[in-house]
Structure 1
Amino acid sequence: MRLLVWLWLFLASALSAIEGRVLHEIEGFIADVAPTALIGIKVYSLDKGKVLYERNAKKRFTPASSLKLFTVAAALHHLGGDYRFETKVVSDEEGNCYLTGSGDPSLSALDLIELVEQLDLTLIQGDLILDLSCFEDGPMGPGWMWDEEPAFWSVPMSALNLEHNYVDDTPILEPAKFTGALFKSALQRKGVEVQGKIKEGKAPETCTLLAKHESEPLRELAKVLLKNSDNLYANCIFKKMGGSWTKGQESVESFLEELRIEGLRVVDGSGESCYNLISPHQMVKFLKKMKGSKDLREALPTPGEEGTLRFRMGMLKDIQAKTGSMTGVSSLCGYLTTEEGEKLTFAIFVNGYMKEGSEIKEQLEDRICHFLSKLPCSL
């Protein structure tokens, strides 16, 4: 009995020493790099079922693009991994032809041409009508920066997107009109005469289907979304779950409530909004719940591979994590396996820093991950 007590005391002392080392090292990184920033961190051992380190873990932070984890998981739940966006060409009894969008963020010019090639007609007597009704409200999400210059990562979104709404290094400010003009041009090149005008309107329920294009399955789109942190993909998928920003929010938050994750705010799919608020504790709880999701795990960036972690963390391979970056905001959340095989999950949020974002990422987030990767299994 005395031997067991002695052994327990010895192990408790060893664990306390290692936990003290974790605290000392991470706090040291923070003091070196961003002592005045608001920083929230939680590190949890999935194998041991215990918290290894936490700092401001229950405070809410602006998460930036790490919020996309919630978007993907909720969409996989509500829509399913096999879900495909559909872009259709339909006609009504009055001779009008409708190009009906579904918000597909992956639609390309080649896809549009293939739609035209499916058509067996030579004349459109009525108008060419763009049906954008799948999305109920505007392209700008709540809390987005109004003075943000359009770029590849911040293009306007629409029910009809084409070529990521970015052509010749230039954002397309009116994607639906651009798509409609290109569609009409493709029709004319095929020899189809369009007698009417290009308009916007909703296709009647009684329309006849003439052609249809389907996107890749959602589980494949999720890889583009998370690995490249693609805002257009994220916001189109977010709105597709409800049709509007508010209904998309309700869909994501209801999914999180099913996981018993409450008391947060998710108002867009991409994390561009400053209104989004989540805590490291909530993120780690989510990651614990989703650890068995193959579709989510396979969509996450990994160092050295294509995506936002391609040039980060050097040879550290046993990590899958989502990055986040805005002005004064950085985050990194995901899964890590130590060199001794311990499976961890973690969330790092940094708000209110004045330094270059690259310094926060390399000298704080990446250093923490390298340190965690070398933790002994006895922890």
Structure 2
Amino acid sequence: MTYIEKKIKEFKGFCGILVKDLKKNEIIYSYNENKFFTPASVTKLFTTFAVFEIFKKEYIFSTKFYFTNGDLIVKGCGDPTIDLKTFDMILNKIKERSGKVFFDTLVIDDSLFNNNEFFGYGWMYNDEENPYIKPFNIKDFVPENNYYAELLELLKPLFIKHRFPIECINSGNVEEKETPFYIHKSAEIDKITEIMMKNSDNYIAEMFFRMLSVKKYGKGEIEKSIEVLKEELYKNLGLEYEEDYVITDGAGLSRYNLISPLTAVKVFEYMLEKYGDRFLNILAYTKSYGTLENRFNFDVWGKTGTLTGVSGLTGLLITKKGRKFIFSLFENNYVYEKTYGKIFENDIINYLYNTF
């Protein structure tokens, strides 16, 4: 019995492994490599694939602000990076340009997404980590009941700080033919993707997922985003929905998602071959910030995944002898602490590093 076989036998759950030598194009080890697993945030690897394929790396989000009939109107564009600090800066810019223009209502045009889909398919309803998805939102803000009233309470200190007498936030629409008063531009999409992958940011990932259908159809809807991802995976890798994978969100919070180690390795290898350092640089890495920082004392790039009873890691390992392995490990259906799956992964990765 090999070391890996021993670890598999000891593991009290369901696991799958695929390890491939990149240069020799040969399988080093496989176990349940064709079986489906709940992937958790390893799903973000697929989100990144779609973003890289559909958007130019220079793409930026442009959030437009208008003055109309005494209202300040914001046209949501799906920018996932607007937090309280950023919105504070936006209000300061508006204050500099507005002079004595008076407005007492903030109107949010959130027509870019389907407004009935503020959570994702297959998300646990009582999960406190679920982000709230709208084309304009303050990052990490999740209302309990009334979105607009609670958003007003969140933003009121900023309105007071900048002396804006805003007492109401509601929804509305703005005609695109109108000239915006101010446009807030995000960082380029590669930088945002790096934050998403290194920190496993669920809000960014799900906003990206909705933007897939905006890019192709003009409106963010979950079913259409699923279709866009399906089309891209089939066109570029020949992967079939339900035969090779099931993905219904971008963050990996969905319990509907199913991915095999084989499919994960195929997507990772495709991304590495096509995008090279551009892809590697946005991944978590053992010698940089993110979910793999200091986890190993050797070079590993990858994407982690964690939910209750679920763990996963797909990535690139450089062994002690300099061999490059692409690998995917998934662990499901265990009842111990979340670290239980990570310990199993660490044992396998350390063994591969030292043995090869």
TM-score w.r.t. the length of structure 2 is 0.87
Post-superposition shift, 1:188? 5.8
Rate the CA distance shift 1:210–1:181 in 2: closer, same or farther, 3 A.
farther
Post-superposition shift, 1:183? 5.9
Deviations 1:275-320 (A, max 9, x none): 111111111111111113233211111225321122423x12x110
Matches within 5 A, 1:38-49: 38-49=14-25
Counterpart residue type for residue 374 of structure 1:
N
Matches within 5 A, 1:19-38: 24-34=2-12, 37-38=13-14
Post-superposition shift, 1:70? 0.6
1:252 aligned onto 2:210: no
Rate the CA distance shift 1:159–1:352 in 2: closer, same or farther, 3 A.
same
Rate the CA distance shift 1:40–1:140 in 2: closer, same or farther, 3 A.
same
In the other structure, the counterpart of 1:6 is: none
Alignment match of 1:105 (pick from 57, 73, 80): 80
Post-superposition shift, 1:157? 2.8
In the other structure, the counterpart of 1:13 is: none
Q: Which has the larger radius of gyration?
A: 1
In the other structure, the counterpart of 1:147 is: 126
Separation (CA, whole Å) in 1 of partners of 2:149 and 2:189: 26
Counterpart residue type for residue 78 of structure 2:
G
Post-superposition shift, 1:176? 5.6
Separation (CA, whole Å) in 2 of partners of 1:164 and 1:239: 17
In the other structure, the counterpart of 1:332 is: 313
Alignment match of 1:157 (pick from 110, 133, 136): 133
Alignment match of 1:138 (pick from 105, 114, 117): 117
In the other structure, the counterpart of 1:279 is: 260
User: What secondary structure, in the 3-state scheme, does the structure 2 residue paired with 1:155 have?
Assistant: coil
User: What secondary structure, in the 3-state scheme, does the structure 2 residue paired with 1:374 have?
Assistant: helix
Alignment match of 1:217 (pick from 185, 188, 206): 188
In the other structure, the counterpart of 2:282 is: 299
User: What secondary structure, in the 3-state scheme, does the structure 1 residue paired with 2:2 have?
Assistant: helix
Separation (CA, whole Å) in 1 of partners of 2:133 and 2:261: 30
In the other structure, the counterpart of 1:7 is: none
Alignment match of 2:38 (pick from 59, 62, 66): 62
Deviations 1:114-172 (A, max 9, x none): 33324324234685311111211421111111122x2xx4332322222432xxxxx55
Q: Flag structure 1 segments of 5+ consecutive residues without an equivalent.
A: 1-22, 166-170
In the other structure, the counterpart of 2:197 is: 226
Q: Flag structure 2 segments of 5+ consecutive residues without an equivalent.
A: 214-219
Post-superposition shift, 1:57? 1.1
Separation (CA, whole Å) in 1 of partners of 2:337 and 2:164: 54
User: What secondary structure, in the 3-state scheme, does the structure 2 residue paired with 1:369 have?
Assistant: helix
Post-superposition shift, 1:357? 2.2
User: What secondary structure, in the 3-state scheme, does the structure 2 residue paired with 1:97 have?
Assistant: strand
Counterpart residue type for residue 330 of structure 1:
S
User: What secondary structure, in the 3-state scheme, does the structure 2 residue paired with 1:368 have?
Assistant: helix
Post-superposition shift, 1:227? 1.0
Number of residue equivalences: 339
Separation (CA, whole Å) in 2 of partners of 1:160 and 1:135: 10
Whether the 8 Å contact between 1:157 and 1:175 is mirrored in structure 2 is no
Post-superposition shift, 1:324? 0.7
Matches within 5 A, 1:157-236: 157-165=133-141, 172-173=143-144, 178-179=150-151, 186=158, 189-191=161-163, 197-236=168-207
User: What secondary structure, in the 3-state scheme, does the structure 2 residue paired with 1:130 have?
Assistant: strand
When the two chains are superposed, the root-mean-square deviation of aligned CA atoms in Å is 2.3
In the other structure, the counterpart of 2:352 is: 372
Separation (CA, whole Å) in 1 of partners of 2:48 and 2:111: 23
**Aligned sequence identity (%):** 30
1:85 aligned onto 2:61: yes
Whether the 8 Å contact between 2:148 and 2:170 is mirrored in structure 1 is no
- Shifted more, 156-165 versus 221-230: the winner is 156-165
Counterpart residue type for residue 347 of structure 1:
S
Separation (CA, whole Å) in 2 of partners of 1:251 and 1:172: 29
Whether the 8 Å contact between 2:209 and 2:225 is mirrored in structure 1 is yes
Separation (CA, whole Å) in 2 of partners of 1:197 and 1:354: 47
In the other structure, the counterpart of 1:350 is: 331
Deviations 1:177-222 (A, max 9, x none): 555566676556545556x843201211222210011111111111
Separation (CA, whole Å) in 1 of partners of 2:290 and 2:157: 35
Separation (CA, whole Å) in 2 of partners of 1:124 and 1:249: 43
